[in-house]
Amino acid sequence: MIDFKNVTKAYDDKIVLEDATLHIDDGEFVFIVGPTGAGKSTLIKLISREIEPDEGDIIVDGKVIDDLSNREIPAFRRQIGMVFQDFRLLPNLTVYENVAFAKEVVHSPRKTIKRIVPQLLAMVDIEDLADKFPDQISGGEQQRVAIARAIANNPKYIIADEPTGNLDGETAWAIMDLLAQINRRGTTVVMVTHAADIVERMNRRVITIQGGRIISDVKGGNAYV
């Protein structure tokens, strides 16, 4: 569960998120939409504890994450799989190593890594790209690697920041299928997007942010303003 309780965040004097309250249940698939600069990215940065709120509390799994010490942050982040618009793969590591890295971070034994990583690559349908470097594969393929990495440690949450933003229509849908599939297995997915057609066709819960405020929160359909 992710809870925002009257969260306000400002940079200098500019308020980017104001008095935001929301509740996301386990297993939900939630879109966060709104115009550029509305505060969507701030919301995501708050959940991943990259930034801290000025006011209010953010509670993930019953734990107020503002209270986390710097030492606790890495362990906290391991239960969140992050997917970004620009993929953010490690450029000097191969596809295989990029996914394996997420397992190494949690000190998985080598044997487990060798067993799990090929399974993950197969799941996102890129097992034949294992030895390629990120700059040798397409955007869609890179995003698949990023998703495989995000789910490597069976996180409870997937936070996706415009995961289809850099992809063409068909590739974007393939990625959406993957995310939906991951969601069906019980993982909560929170996805920030600009893509109205995707939001419409997916028919899930939609939270709309504008000017730093949550202006609508509806189950199903298209609330894109």
Partner 1 sequence: MFSGLWYSLKKAVVQIFRNKGMSIASLFSITAMLLILALFFSFTVNVSFLTEQVKDEFNTIVMFLYDGVSTEDAYKIASSIESMNQVESVKYVPKEKAMEEFKESWGDNAYLLDGLTENPLPNSLRVELSDIQGGSLVAQVGYGFSGVEDVRFYREEVDKVLKISSVIQKSALVVIVFLVIVSVMVVSNTVKLTVLARQEEIEIMKYIGATNWFVRGPMFVEGMLIGLISAAIALGISAILYIKLEAGLRTDMMTLFATTLVDSKFVIKNLAWIFGALGVSIGACGSIISMRRFLKV
Q: Quick one: which of 4, 155, 2 has its CA closest to 75?
A: 155
User: In the complex with partner 1, which residue's Cβ is closer, 105 or 196?
Assistant: 105
- For the chain, how many residues are written? 225
Query: DSSP code of 132?
Result: -
In the complex, what is the shortest distance from the CB of residue 157 to partner 1, in angstroms, rounded to a whole number? 12
Q: In what order do the strands lie in the sheet with 14-24?
A: 14-24, 2-11, 55-60, 63-64
Q: Are 12 and 188 contacting, i.e. CB atoms less than 8 angstroms apart?
A: no
User: In the complex with partner 1, which residue's Cβ is closer, 76 or 173?
Assistant: 76
| Adjacent-strand bridge partners of 82 | 159
Binding span for partner 1 by CB under 8 A among 23-31, 83-91, 163-171, 200-208: 83-91
Where does 39-138 have alpha helices with state H?
A: 40-47, 73-77, 95-105, 110-123
**Choice from 77, 132, 156, 213 touching partner 1 (CB under 8 A):** 77
Q: Which residues contact residue 134 at a Cβ distance below 8 angstroms, ignoring those fewer than 6 apart?
A: 87, 89, 90, 91, 93, 95, 98, 142, 145
In the complex, what is the shortest distance from the CB of residue 219 to partner 1, in angstroms, rounded to a whole number? 30
Chain positions 46 to 65 lying near partner 1, rule: CB under 8 A, are 48, 50
Binding span for partner 1 by CB under 8 A among 10-18, 21-29, 80-88, 216-224: 80-88
Query: What value does the CA radius of gyration of the chain take, rounded to a whole number of Å?
Result: 17
Per CB under 8 A, does 112 bind partner 1? no
Binding span for partner 1 by CB under 8 A among 23-31, 35-43, 88-96, 119-127: 88-96
Chain positions 128 to 157 lying near partner 1, rule: CB under 8 A, are 149, 153
Question: Which spans of this chain sit near partner 1 (rule: CB under 8 A)?
Answer: 48, 50, 71, 74-78, 80, 82, 88-92, 101-102, 104-106, 149, 153
